[in-house]
Structure formats: C-alpha cells, structure tokens
Amino acid sequence: MATTVRLLLEPFDPAAELSSFSKAHPAAGGFVSFLGQVRASESGGSAVEALELTHYEPLTLPGMQALADEVLSRWGLDGLLILHRAGVMVPGDPIVLVAAAARHRRDAFAAADFAMDHLKSQSWFWKREKAGGAWRWIEPREEDHSDLARWELSETGN
C-alpha cells in the first residue's frame, strides 16, 4: 500500500500527479480524485485576487499524515495521495489534491470524501482571501462541519 502525503509551498501539476499515481497502482480497479482550486470570486461575488494559506509546521504535515493513516485504517485501498499547498495563490491555482486507488470504487469514493471533509473542517491551515484590495479571514462553513459530522454518525451505526 503506497501513501504519498506532501505539504507544498510551490505549485503542482494535478494532471502529472494523477498520471503518476494511477501508473503506480495498476491493480486498482477504481480511482477517485478531488482537486480543489482557488475560486475566481468570493461568496459575495467580488473577484478574488489571492488566497493565502498559512500553517504551523510542527502540526500540519504530521496532521496530514495522521489523517492518511486514519483513511487507510477505514478502507481497503491500494494507494492514497494527499497534496496540499500553503502560501499565496491566485485564482485557478490548485490548492489540494486527494486521490484514492482501490480494487472497488466504493472504497475509493468514501476514502477521498472522508479525507476532504477532514481537510476542509479540521485542517491545520489558516486561510485568508484578498478581494477588492482587502484581506479577510475564511472560517469553515456550517456545511463543512455538517459534512464532517456525518462520518461520526456512520461510526456509531446511526
């Protein structure tokens, strides 16, 4: 089982990463990926000029690795890829890439979904967005917390 977890300070090429990931797992019957990128406009409709993600180094990469370990303990995967950017990005830049390779598609879908829900609401990043020349902090939305809570319900069998 191959796992790749990387915290990146420079841009990455999602197509090249996915190509390399899929070639590394020829026995997998299904691949699921999620790519998150900087939006061109904020929820209020203003044009986004930049997004900045800062992190606390002693927690970020170990936290991402712990998340990968949890994903692997829950689903039968052939491979898992988690890439996350930090630093200043502009609209269209990739922020996060999660990919799961599994013998069967349901494990791959669930694993990628779980990883993204955790990255979105329990991540080790602080986000701020620049629009209209001004920076504002971005907090997880209520929907992000609800998405995460459904995994807690599935653990208890509810």
Provide Rg for the chain, Cα atoms. 16
The residue ranking higher by pLDDT, 88 or 42, is: 88
Instruction: Classify strands 79-85 and 2-8 as parallel, antiparallel or unpaired.
Output: parallel
pLDDT score recorded for residue 156: 42
The secondary structure of the chain, three-state, reads CEEEEEEECCCCCHHHHHHHHHHCCCCCCEEEEEEEECCCECCCCCEEEEEEEEECHHHHHHHHHHHHHHHHHHCCCCEEEEEEECEEECCCCEEEEEEEEECCHHHHHHHHHHHHHHHHHCCCEEEEEEECCEEEEECCCHHHHHHHHHHHHHHHCC
pLDDT digits (tens, 9 = 90+) for 101-157: 999 899 999 999 999 988 887 778 999 999 989 999 987 667 756 666 677 755 544
Enumerate domains of the chain plus CATH numbers: 2-156 (3.90.1170.40)
pLDDT digit string, tens, across residues 68-92: 999 999 999 999 999 999 999 999 9
Q: Is the pTM higher than 0.85? A: yes
Cβ pair 48, 88 in contact under 8 A: no
